C-alpha cells in the first residue's frame, strides 16, 4: 500500500518523510532547506535539491551517507519521486498541499526529467558562480535593473563593446543561450544579489573604471 500524500496540514513535513520511507531503491527530491528529513530511509540512494537559505540543517543533509545534495536558490516546485514510480508534487515552495501521481503515467517520467535537468543546472551553476567576476556581477545588476548596454557602460566607465564582451562571457559560463535565459539561470545560480533598488546600487557602484 502506498502512503497517503500530504494534504497541506501542519504535518506536511512529517508526512513528506513518511512518503520517502516507502522507497526501496531511490529517492529524488526537491525540498526547502528547513525540512528535517532524517529517518530510516537514509540508507536509500537519495539525490536532494535544497532550495532557499542554507542554514546548518541544510548543510547536515550533505553529511548523510548515500545522499547527494545540491543547492539552488530558485526552483519551480517541491517534488518527491520514489523509485521512479510514484511522485508527489507541491506547487508551494514551502512543501504543502501535495498531489500524488503513480505510474503508468507520463507525468512521472516528465517529473523525473525535470529533476534531472534541475540537478545538472544546480551543479553547473554552483561551479560557475565563483568564476563570475565582480565587474560581471555589476553588469548583471544593471541588466536586472533594466538598463541598456550603453547605460551600463557609462555607469561603469567601460566601453559598450567591453560590456557586451562581459555579457557574452557570463552567458558562456552559465550555459545561457540568450539574454532571456541568462536572467533565468542567474536566478538559479543566485546571481547577482540584487537589492530592492537595483538602479541605486548600480549607480553607486558605477563610478569606477574597471577594465
The per-residue pLDDT string of the chain (211 residues; one tens digit each, 9 = 90 and over) reads: 343 444 444 456 666 677 777 788 999 998 886 766 666 566 788 888 887 655 455 556 556 667 787 777 677 788 889 999 888 888 776 666 777 787 667 888 899 999 998 888 776 655 566 678 889 989 999 998 889 999 999 999 999 999 999 999 888 877 777 888 788 777 766 676 544 444 544 555 444 444 4
The candidate with the shortest Cα–Cα distance to 9, out of 75, 82, 107, 92, is 92
The pLDDT assigned to 151 comes to: 94
| 35 φ, ψ (degrees, to nearest 5) | -75, 125
The pLDDT assigned to 15 comes to: 66
The pLDDT assigned to 91 comes to: 77
Domains and CATH numbers, the chain: 12-128 (3.30.870.10), 130-205 (1.10.10.10)
Taken in order 196, 54, 118, 163, is the CA torsion positive or negative?
positive
| 101 φ, ψ (degrees, to nearest 5) | -135, 135
For 80, counting Cβ atoms within 10 Å of its Cβ (0-12 exposed, 13-18 middle, 19+ buried), the class is buried
The pLDDT assigned to 1 comes to: 33
Amino acid at each position: 500500500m502506498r502512503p497517503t500524500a500530504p494534504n497541506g496540514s501542519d504535518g506536511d513535513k512529517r508526512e513528506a518523510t513518511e512518503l520517502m520511507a516507502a522507497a526501496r531503491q531511490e529517492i529524488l527530491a526537491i525540498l526547502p532547506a528547513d525540512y528535517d528529513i532524517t529517518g530510516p530511509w537514509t540508507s536509500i540512494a537519495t539525490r536532494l535539491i535544497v532550495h532557499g537559505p542554507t542554514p546548518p540543517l541544510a548543510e547536515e543533509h550533505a553529511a548523510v551517507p548515500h545522499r547527494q545534495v545540491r543547492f539552488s536558490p530558485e526552483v519551480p516546485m517541491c517534488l518527491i519521486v520514489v523509485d521512479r514510480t510514484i511522485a508527489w508534487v507541491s506547487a508551494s515552495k514551502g512543501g504543502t498541499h501535495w498531489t500524488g501521481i503513480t505510474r503508468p503515467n507520463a507525468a512521472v517520467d516528465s517529473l523525473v526529467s525535470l529533476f534531472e535537468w534541475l540537478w545538472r543546472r544546480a551543479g553547473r551553476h554552483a561551479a560557475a558562480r565563483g568564476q563570475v567576476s565582480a565587474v560581471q556581477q555589476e553588469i548583471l545588476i544593471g541588466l536586472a535593473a533594466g538598463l541598456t548596454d550603453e547605460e551600463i557602460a557609462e555607469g561603469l566607465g567601460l566601453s559598450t563593446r567591453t560590456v557586451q564582451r562581459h555579457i557574452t562571457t557570463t552567458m558562456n559560463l552559465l550555459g545561457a543561450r540568450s539574454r532571456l535565459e541568462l536572467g533565468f539561470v542567474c536566478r538559479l545560480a543566485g546571481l547577482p544579489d540584487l537589492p530592492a533598488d537595483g538602479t541605486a546600487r548600480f549607480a553607486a557602484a558605477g563610478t569606477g573604471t574597471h577594465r
